[in-house]
Amino acid sequence: AKLRESRIERTKTVCTYCGVGCSFDIWTKGRKILKVEPQMDAPANQVSTCIKGKFGWSFVNSPERIVEPLIRKGDSFVPASWDEALEYVANRLKGIKDKYGPNSIGYISSSKCTNEENYLMQKFARAVMETNNIDNCSRYCQSPATYALRATMGLGGDTGSIEDIKIADLMMVVGANPAESHPVLSTRIRRAHKKNGQKLIVADLRKNDLAHRANIWLHPNPGTDLVWLSAVTKYIIEQGWHDAAFVEQNVDGFEAYKGSLEPFTLDYAVEVTGLPREQLIETAEMIHNAKRMCIAWAMGVTQHIAGSDTSTAICNLLLVTGNVARPGTGAYPLRGHNNVQGAGDMGCAPDVYPGYESASDPAVLAKYEAAWGTKLPTTKGLDNHQMVEAIHDGNLKAMYIMGEEMALVDSNANHVQSAFEKLEFFVVQDIFFSKTAEFADVILPASPSLEKEGTFTNTERRVQRLYEVLEPLGDSKPDWQILTELAKHMGVDWNYTHPSDIMDEVASLAELLAGVSYERLEGYKSLQWPVAKDGTDTPLLYTDGFPFDNGRAKLITLEYTKPIEFDAEYDLHINNGRMLEHFHEGNLTYRVDGIKEKVPTTYVEVSPELAKERGVETGSVVRLISPYGQIRVSAVVTDRVVGKELYIPMNTPKDEEAINYLTSSYHDEHTHTPAYKECSVRMEVVCAE
């Protein structure tokens, strides 16, 4: 893939930002990035990219990169050789394991890392350290969607391909803002709406870009999506508009589900959601009139105490209307990070091995014990929410975090950071000195995606290869090499010489990825799982039935759980999400000059009516106070938000402005995904403009 053109090199990579999984050539001269050139044969994006994919790469040359291992000595960090640092980490981990047992250590993998690196992190936790305490950041965003899809349809991924969205007659987007979070996918939706006459329904608290263009913008009360989704489904069934033949042939549980919808009358939905009755009926009619409907959703759905149930309500609606297993239909949970799908696929969760094979299934354990040549843990592992609580309870003594800014990204940041302060030993493996790294005992310098080979899996289950564009900076190393060398210091020789060795091992063990190989992924080739041994992949799921014993999908009955109620003094609901220019907590894009200049800081959006009432103008500095913490931030007055709704981007160049100083530890009961979107504050004006 590396085509030499005099001293200019051109190398294929896959974007390190969102889950759309755009791929393109990067032109470099030395370490200088000359340009990003998308290619027609890029499967997810062809010639498109967004601002981050096009211009968001100079962070790789930032002088703030960590380029040598660092070991804490008192209040400061001292540079160390790799041997010294890894020997120290190995000895400390061994010591803690011997003293407190293997389950006293927790491991967090990264959706910014490759599939191969994620696979090794869970292998390190399970095979070397003998614990199932392994998790990744999909716990913070998409676990509820995965939970719902696995429960109703069987597989935890988008049911179709991005390419197919354009042939839907109706696109419904619930609790997602693709124009800023998944820009290239949003372009596809916009084009289909404008040019093909695709109908568009958007449900969101904020009048985002797609909501502006939509045929219907649903603006329900916060935390009530399950109610309107269920009411619309009930109305469809009552009118006889459901796909009775599809349900009869393919779906279990219809009668029980229909009965469970009894409370979700239109009157009840109007009362709870605040949506007009006519809008609910219009939504049902639009669904009825569409031959093919896709529903995309994201963290506006999942990050609630009932995030899994609301995701399940979406799956139920798709099944009842027969909008599955045909091109232009289906479920599209929009994965946030570039490889959040892959981190889950690789078994970086306490309850599953790669390919979502159960960690409590003796046959799965026997398979991995034979392959890895060691006894594997049978104790139930902790997810990242449980790890934080276990530290506070004195049961978790050490953590190893690879490539995650958990100190700011987990909810209730003060609670998380006070847990980190209690750890006896803490390893952080990252490319920058993050907020999380401030609490570390050892910092291991990793390489970003441009400095490594491997694969990422995008939101449509598409596995793609990335090639090394630049050599690792300084003494930094790709995460797979760090883990391989650390295992050696623990006395285990994994013997990998290239990430392709790791993928071969994954393919030999995980049925879902049985036919994946680097040869089959050469250049711009890609595969969508499940991939059979002969290399046949699956762009569209469930065409041969659903992967349950009887081959039938399941409708699941649901009850409505009210969102968290805050004391009356916290009178403003605050929502949060992504912005186009920056990504996630901002550690990468706030180190990209062009982007940082364009959007130098974060802000809170205030509605014109609230601004007038409280004496706030654009540029005013306000203090936002929740029961869990407070932040100071500038206000922007905009009609994107309405009434007492506030909105703040999740990314910030200043740690102290992070939204998660305000959010709570409440979480979805099924997955422990934090209820980031259920947060209320009071607002004080610190300094009027």
Residues within the interface to ligand SF4 (CB under 6 A): 15, 17-18, 20-22, 45, 49-50, 52-53, 182-184
Cα dihedral sign, 170-173-179-185: negative
Amino acid occupying residue 168: A
The count of other CB atoms within 10 Å of the CB of residue 421 is: 9
Taking the complex as a whole, the smallest distance from the CB of residue 183 to ligand SF4 amounts, in Å, to 4
Q: Which two tokens stand for residue 599?
A: 């959007």
CA-to-CA dists, residue 402 to 109, 177, 645, angstroms: 5, 28, 35
Quick one: 178 or 530, whose CB is closer to ligand SF4?
A: 178
Helix (H, G, I), strand (E, B) or coil at 73: strand
Tell me how far apart the terminal alpha carbons of the chain are, to the nearest angstrom: 53
Quick one: 52 or 596, whose CB is closer to ligand SF4?
A: 52
**From the CA atom positions of the chain, what is the Rg in Å?**
24
Q: How far is CA 363 from the centre of its chain?
A: 30
Phi, psi of 202 (to 5 degrees): -120, 130
Quick one: 372 or 467, whose CB is closer to ligand SF4?
A: 467
The count of other CB atoms within 10 Å of the CB of residue 572 is: 21
Quick one: 36 or 443, whose CB is closer to ligand SF4?
A: 36
Quick one: 22 or 93, whose CB is closer to ligand SF4?
A: 22
Quick one: 183 or 445, whose CB is closer to ligand SF4?
A: 183
Quick one: 18 or 427, whose CB is closer to ligand SF4?
A: 18
Segments of 47-146 assigned E as strands: 70-73, 76-79, 105-108, 134-135
Task: Using alpha carbons only, give the angle 16, 21, 23 rounded to the nearest 5 degrees.
Answer: 85
Quick one: 52 or 415, whose CB is closer to ligand SF4?
A: 52
Taking the complex as a whole, the smallest distance from the CB of residue 147 to ligand SF4 amounts, in Å, to 24
Distance CA 291, CA 413 (A): 45
Quick one: 102 or 333, whose CB is closer to ligand SF4?
A: 333
Taking the complex as a whole, the smallest distance from the CB of residue 83 to ligand SF4 amounts, in Å, to 37
Quick one: 158 or 505, whose CB is closer to ligand SF4?
A: 158
Taking the complex as a whole, the smallest distance from the CB of residue 335 to ligand SF4 amounts, in Å, to 10
Query: Parallel, antiparallel, or unpaired for β 398-402 and 425-430?
Result: parallel
Cis peptide bond upstream of 530, omega within 30: yes
Amino acid occupying residue 68: E
Quick one: 54 or 392, whose CB is closer to ligand SF4?
A: 54
Amino acid occupying residue 339: N
* Burial class of 362 by CB neighbour count within 10 A (0 to 12, 13 to 18, 19+): exposed
The closest residue (CB) to ligand SF4 is: 53
Closest CA to 144 of 544, 556, 537, 552: 556
Taking the complex as a whole, the smallest distance from the CB of residue 22 to ligand SF4 amounts, in Å, to 3
Quick one: 279 or 459, whose CB is closer to ligand SF4?
A: 459
The answer to whether residues 203 and 220 touch, using CB atoms and an 8 Å cutoff, is yes
Taking the complex as a whole, the smallest distance from the CB of residue 184 to ligand SF4 amounts, in Å, to 4
Closest CA to 299 of 171, 462, 173, 114: 173
Taking the complex as a whole, the smallest distance from the CB of residue 297 to ligand SF4 amounts, in Å, to 17
Taking the complex as a whole, the smallest distance from the CB of residue 167 to ligand SF4 amounts, in Å, to 21
Length of the chain: 689
Taking the complex as a whole, the smallest distance from the CB of residue 616 to ligand SF4 amounts, in Å, to 32
Taking the complex as a whole, the smallest distance from the CB of residue 15 to ligand SF4 amounts, in Å, to 3
The count of other CB atoms within 10 Å of the CB of residue 625 is: 17
Taking the complex as a whole, the smallest distance from the CB of residue 341 to ligand SF4 amounts, in Å, to 12
Taking the complex as a whole, the smallest distance from the CB of residue 301 to ligand SF4 amounts, in Å, to 20
Quick one: 52 or 326, whose CB is closer to ligand SF4?
A: 52
Query: Which residues on adjacent β-strands are paired with residue 632?
Result: 623
User: Is the backbone of residue 330 left (phi > 0), alpha (psi -120 to 50) or beta?
Assistant: left
Taking the complex as a whole, the smallest distance from the CB of residue 579 to ligand SF4 amounts, in Å, to 12
The answer to whether residues 348 and 483 touch, using CB atoms and an 8 Å cutoff, is no
Helices (H), 490-637: 499-509, 593-598, 608-614
Closest CA to 670 of 573, 556, 566: 556
Helices (H), 172-224: 178-181, 183-195, 209-213
Taking the complex as a whole, the smallest distance from the CB of residue 20 to ligand SF4 amounts, in Å, to 4
Helix (H, G, I), strand (E, B) or coil at 554: strand
Closest CA to 592 of 180, 181, 61: 61
